[in-house]
Amino acid sequence: MVRATIILCLTVVLLAACANRSQGPQKSTEARAIEFLQREVPAWSRDNGCFSCHNNGDAARALFAAHRNGYQIPHTALADTIEWVTTPNRWNDNKGDPGFSDQRLADVQFAASLVAALESQRVKNNAAINAAAIRVASAQADDGSWPIDAANRAGSPATYGVALATYMAWDSLRRASSPEISAAQQKAEQHLSAIMPDSVPNTAVLLLFHNSRTDNPNSRNPLNVDHRDVGLNFLRRAQTSDGGWGPYADSPPEAFDTALALLALAEFRNKDGVPEMIQRGRTYLTATQFADGSWPATTRPSGGQSYAQQMSTTGWATLALLATR
């Protein structure tokens, strides 16, 4: 009887081991996010007959980045986005609810998606970026900014806010070669150089902008290096015990703010303590990812439900994980 019991127990253990082996290794946080985005990105235009800032903007940018990082992204996941972002003359004709649309924001996000497509080599013709940059530049305010969602100081994943919108617009302008946008680029640099590190999104933008211009020592608007160091110290103080970041130093963590902080820190890994900050931030994103590969929508105020914000939150989180692998 004892022998039979032992044999039965061993059989159960062996069957369990075989079952675990058949499941294979657990997929990484990035891989699960990419699988989610591959399903969702093309679904919006197919099901709604229009193109969106969240699916064909932020979320598609994450898939282009995944392709650049060696992931095999099916042609069908990005074909509609590529066709759309490479034809800026059509962006005014996008269908959708005017009450929930901001053409300035759409132009900034579609131009950013076009930049990502070019960087990934999924698009190889640079011709469209000049037309896109001219569209983006036309919405610039006199102070050099793009005043999008200006009432929301911390911004949000899908609507950006002034600092992030201005940085993303500037990033598209600097990729173009059109003389028509050089003045707009300089005005944007002046505005970005004056941003104060008083929130996590603003601090992330400041650091991203600083890093984007380190290869241009002759810039007319050099950044104050003290602002960079103040920014890094701000992110050190603002990181929560969970490893994530919220919009402000005393806020609960959110996936979007954590993603922005990680993207900003990615190029400062040589600084003391930064690798540990990055690892803790990645751990927070892994712990808060849904089973389907997405993240909870970061909304302002927190706790809201929004498909657009969820798609953009997932796009930003995926970009951050890819940048800090």
| Vertex 320 angle, CA 200 and 118, to 5° | 115
Q: What is the pLDDT of residue 122?
A: 97
Give strand pairing partners of 274. none
Confidence (pLDDT) at 140: 98
Query: What pLDDT, on a 0 to 100 scale, did the predictor assign at position 180?
Result: 86
Percentage of the chain exceeding pLDDT 90: 82
Q: Residue 162 has which token pair?
A: 């002034």
Please count the other Cβ atoms lying within 10 Å of the Cβ belonging to residue 83. 12
Measured between alpha carbons, how far is 141 from 150 in angstroms, rounded to an integer? 12
CB burial class (10 A; 0-12, 13-18, 19+) of residue 13? exposed
The rounded mean pLDDT for the chain is 89
pLDDT at 212: 86
pLDDT of residue 223: 53
**Separation between Cα atoms, residue 36 and residue 22, nearest integer Å:** 23
In a domain, residue 72? The reply is: yes
What local confidence, expressed as pLDDT, does residue 194 receive?
A: 92
pLDDT reported for residue 225: 61
Structural domains of the chain, count: 1
Classify residue 20: in a domain, yes or no: no
Tokens read off for 307: 């498909």
Domain-located, residue 1: no
What is the band of 99 on the pLDDT scale with cuts at 50, 70, 90? very low
Tokens of residue 151, six digits: 């009432």
Residue 135, domain CATH: 1.50.10.20
In a domain, 8, yes or no: no
Instruction: Print burial letters for 279-293: b (CB count within 10 Å at least 16), e (below 16).
Output: ebbbebbeebbeeeb
Which DSSP helix (H) or strand (E) runs through 64? helix 60-68
pLDDT of residue 15 exceeding 60, the answer is no
248 inside domain: yes
> 12 to each of 4, 7, 24, 109, 290, how far by Cα in Å?
12, 9, 19, 54, 31
Distance CA 115, CA 170 (A): 12
List, in order, residues 6 or more apart from 206 with CB less than 8 Å away: 192, 195, 196, 197, 223, 227, 228, 231, 264
Would you tell me how many other CB atoms lie within 10 Å of the CB of residue 259? 29
215-246 pLDDT, tens digit each: 554 454 455 567 789 999 999 999 999 999 99
What is the structure's pLDDT at 226?
Answer: 73
DSSP class of residue 251 equals S
* Structural domain includes residue 109: yes
**Mean pLDDT of the region 258-275:** 96
Q: Could you tell me the end-to-end alpha-carbon distance of the chain, in angstroms, rounded to an integer?
A: 54
Q: Which of 131, 141, 211 is nearest to 172 (CA)?
A: 131
Say if pTM beats, i.e. exceeds, 0.75: yes
Q: Mean pLDDT across the stretch 31-53?
A: 97
Residue 149 has pLDDT above 70, yes or no: yes
Average pLDDT over residues 59-66: 98
Q: What is d(CA 250, CA 197) in angstroms, rounded to the nearest whole number?
A: 14
pLDDT tens figures, 281-300: 999 999 999 999 999 999 99
Q: Identify the domain containing residue 274 by its residue range.
A: 27-320
- Name the residue type at position 311: M
Whether 149 is in a domain gets the answer yes
